[in-house]
Chains A and B, each alone.
Chain A
Amino acid sequence: MSFSKLTRRGLIKTGAAASAGLALPTYLRADGHTGFTNAPTGDTVTLGFNVPQSGPYADEGADELRAFELAVEHLNGGGDGGMLQTFSSKALDGTGILGKKVNFVTGDTQTKSDAARASAKSMIEKDGAVMISGGSSSGVAVAVQALCQEAGIIFMAGLTHANDTTGKDKRANGFRHFFNSYMSGAALAPVLANAYGKDRKAYHLTADYNWGYTTEEAVRSSTEAMGWETVNAVKTPLTQTDFSAYIAPVLQSGADVLVLNHYGGNMVNSLTNAVQFGLRDKEVNGKKFEIVVPLYSELMARGAGANIKGILGSQNWDWKLEDQLGSRYSGTNAFVQSFGTKFGFPPSQAAHTCYVQTLLYADAVTRAGSFNPCAVVEALAGFEFDGLGNGPTLYRADDHQCFKDVVVVKGKENPENSFDLVEIVEVTPAEQVTYAPDHPQFAGGSLGTCNPGA
C-alpha cells in the first residue's frame, strides 16, 4: 500500500486488463504439492541468513554474515574449501547442495524478536528460503525457531547462549551448535576452584533478561556445588551504561569474587567500572578480589581493552585452538586460513558457529538426499561428527543441542596484536559439561515432532 493513489488506480485498471488476458492459462495451486514448504524447484536453493545488522550486536552480526558468505562460497566449490577438507563427513563435494547452486538472502533482526520474525517471514514467504540461520541473541533465536517450526523450515541457530533455546523453548525443527549457560557454568567451576580456591563468596551482577537469568542460575549452581557461597545477586537493567551504583555495594557485602553475567556493551561497561573502582587491587577475607565473566568473546575483549587482563571466562571456540592444543581441534586452522585470506583478520566464535551450522545443514541434506525438513531432522539428530574445529561433537537427538568441549579462557596479559587478546587456559572435555535432557535448568519444554509445512 505504498503507491500514491493515482498509480494504484492505474495499476488496478492494468491489472484487471492483464488478468482478463491471462485468464486462459490460469490454474490454481495450493501450497506445496511437493510435500514440504519451499521445496527448491529450479537448479538453485535459497538459504536465509537473518543477523543483527543494527543495534547492540551489529559487530557480531557483521562477522556472522562474513562467515555465511564464506560457507556458501565453499559449498558452491569456490575458494579453498575451508572445513570441507577436514569435516569427518565427506558427503559435500563443492557442487552446491544436492547439485543445486546455493543462493542466499540476508535480513536484519535488529536484535528484536518482532523485527527478526518479520524478516524471517519475508525470507520464507517471498524469497522461498528453505533454511534460516543466524541471530545473536537468545530472545531472537527462540522467536525465529518457533516461527520456523510453524512454517516447516529448518532453523540453524547462530550465537545464542541461554539454556531456553534448547531447553524449555526447544523445537524439533531447530538446532543449536553453540554452547549454553549450563555448559559455561560446568566448565568454569572446576577452573575457578583451582585458581581461586573452594572457599569463596560470590556476588553476581546479572543483566535483567532471560539470558542473564539462566547464566546466573548456571554459574551459581555449579560454583555452589563445589563450595562457594553466593552473597548476593543483583539484576541490572539491560540499557544501563554506568554501573558505578551497582559496583559500590559489592565491597560492603563481604564478597571476594564478582561474577558479571553481562554480554556485549553491558559487560564492557560493568567491567570497566569495576576496575576503575579498584576492585581488582583489593583484598577481602585475606584473599585477592577476583572478577569472572562467564561468556567471553574476542569482540568484547577488544571493547574492554586492558581491563580484561587475567579475567576468566568461557568460549565456544577460539581461532588459536588447533595451534595450541593440537589436531584434536582440526578444522580450526582450515577455517581461520580461508576466513583470513578473504577478510584479512581471524574469525570470531560467532562467525565460526554460523559457518559450521551452514555446513552441517548442507551435509545433512546431502546425506538425507532431500531438502524435506523431516529428513534433515532425522539426519542431524544424533549425528556425530568431527573436524569442524571443536573436536568430536554430538548433535543430541533429545534436544538438538551440540555437545563438545568448552574452552576456558582468560584475558591475555601481554597481547601481541588486537586479535590476540584472549588466552586459552584449558579445555573442559564434553563429558564434564554434558547433562541429562530433563535437567531442571532445561525442563518444561518439548521438541514436538518435525513439521515439513505445507
Chain B
Amino acid sequence: MFGLDKKDAGLLLIVAILALAAPFILNPFPEGSAMAQFNAGYPDLMQRLVIFGIFAIGFNILFGLTGYLSFGHAAFLGVGSYAAIWMMKLLTMNVIPAIIVSVMIAGLFSLLVGWISLRRSGIYFSILTLAFAQMSYALAYSVLTPITGGETGLQPKYTDPRILDGALPDGQMPRANLFGLDMKDGFELVMGNWVFTFNAGYYIAAVVMLLSFYISIRIFRSPFGMMLRAVKSNQQRMNYTGLNTKPYTLAAFVISGMYAGLAGGLLVAMDTQVGAERMFWTASGEVVLMTILGGAGTLIGPVLGAGFIKYMENIVSKINKTVLEQWFAFMPDGIEDVMVALVYPFVGKGWHLTLGLLFMLVVIFLPGGLVEGGQRIGNLFRSKKAKDTSPDGSKTPAE
C-alpha cells in the first residue's frame, strides 16, 4: 500500500485510526463525572497533540537517524509561525498559503543554520544550534519588534490589508479558514453522558500529520535514510571511504527544519497568534524530551512522546487544590489534608516535577522510550519470543 511494506502500512493504518477517532479516544469519561478532569478531547489540545507530533516526527528525522542533537529546533517552528501570520495579514486568511510559505521560510532558515552548524558535530553542534535559537528568540522578542510584535506578538487585525480576501463585515474579526471552512467549525456528538467534539481544524491538522508520518516512513525506509543511519553509527568510517556526508546531514537538517516550520504554520492556522516564547530554548528542549520519551529513532515514538508531554502540560497542570480536595473529600478530615499535601506538589504548577520523575523512570528502565514499554507489554501478551523486526522499524531504538 502506497509503496509501504505490510508492517509499515499496518502502522500507518493504526496511526490513522487513532488520529481520526481521537475525539472518542481522548474523551473516555462522561461529562460531569469526577474523572472528566482527565478528558483531553477538546479541540485545542487535540490540535496541539497532532501539531507537536509533526514537530517531533521532523526532529526525529534529524536526531533519530543521524544522531545530530539539535537544541534549537524551536527557532524553525517560530520562524514558520511568523511567516504564516504574515501571510494571513498580507495575503489571505486561507490557511493553505500560510502553511506553504511557513514550510518554505523555515526550510531556507534551516539551510542557513544547518550550513553553519553542521561544520561541527557532537556537543559543539548542539551548542551552535542553541545559540542560533536564542539569537532568534532575542531578535523576535525585542530587536525586531516592528516585524514580530515583540512581547505582545502578532495577531490578525481588522485593518490588515489581506489583498486576496474581500472586505470583512464591519467589526468582524478575521478568522482562519480553508476555502471558507472556519477552523473553529465543528459539531458535538452527544451520547448519553458523553460529549464528543469534532472540530474542522483538528481534522485538517490530523490529515497533515498523517501525510507527514507517511513521508517520514518513506524517508526511514529509503536509501537516503540508510545513509543517515550510517552517519549515526560511524561517520568517521564514512569519511574514510571517501564519502562526503555533509550533503546528507544537511538535507536531513533542512527536512526536519521544514517539518518544524510546518508545525509552526499549523499552530498559527489553528490559533491565529504568535508569541516569541515559542522560540525560547525550553521549547527546543521540549521536543528533545518528546523524542527521547517516546523513543528516538522509532517511527511512532516521537508522536507518543509529544502526546504524553502535551497531555501532562494541559491536563495535570490544571489540577488545583480545590480539585484535590474534592477527590479526597470522602476521607476523614486529617487524612484528607495529608493526602492533599502529599499529592499537591506533583500536580498543578508542579506538573514539571511529575514529568521529570516520569522522564527519569523512562530513561532508566525503558531506554527505548514508551515504544520499548509497548513492545515489552506486547511480548508479554504474545508470550513468545520477540520477532527480529519490530513493527516500529528498528530493533533497538536509539537512545
Contacts and interface: CB of A to CB of B under 8 A. Distances in A.
Interface string A4-35: 11101101100100110010011111110000
A149 B24 contact: no
B273 A146 contact: yes
A210 B150 contact: yes
Nearest to B171: A449
A2 B314 contact: no
B18 A8 contact: yes
Nearest to A168: B157
Contacts of B153: 113, 139, 142-143
Nearest to B43: A125
Given A15-B25, A22-B191, A235-B142, A209 B150 contact: yes
B318 interface: yes
Given A125-B43, A172-B171, A112 B152 contact: no
Interface string B132-158: 000000100110010001111101011
B277 A2 contact: no
B349 A53 contact: yes
B190 interface: yes
Nearest to B25: A11
A150 interface: yes
A108 B315 CA distance: 11
A118 B173 contact: no
B197 A169 contact: no
A60 interface: no
Contact of A2 (B40, B44, B155, B157): B40
Given A22-B191, A28-B188, A28-B189, 11 more contacts: A1-B303, A5-B378, A15-B21, A113-B277, A121-B44, A122-B45, A125-B43, A150-B184, A164-B152, A210-B152, A446-B159
A143 B378 contact: no
A1 B348 contact: no
A34 to B, nearest CB: 13
Contacts of B275: 112-114, 139, 143
Interface of B: 14, 17-18, 21-22, 24-26, 28, 39-40, 42-45, 48-50, 53, 138, 141-142, 145, 149-153, 155, 157-159, 170-173, 175, 184, 186-192, 194, 197, 271-273, 275, 277-278, 280, 300, 303-304, 306-308, 310-314, 317-318, 320, 348-349, 370, 373-374, 377-378, 381
A234 interface: no
A117 B271 contact: yes
Contacts of A446: 158-159
A147 B172 contact: no
Scoring A6, A19, A53, A150 by chain B CB atoms within 10 A of each residue's CB, the highest score goes to A150
B46 to A, nearest CB: 9
A401 B138 CA distance: 31
B317 to A, nearest CB: 6
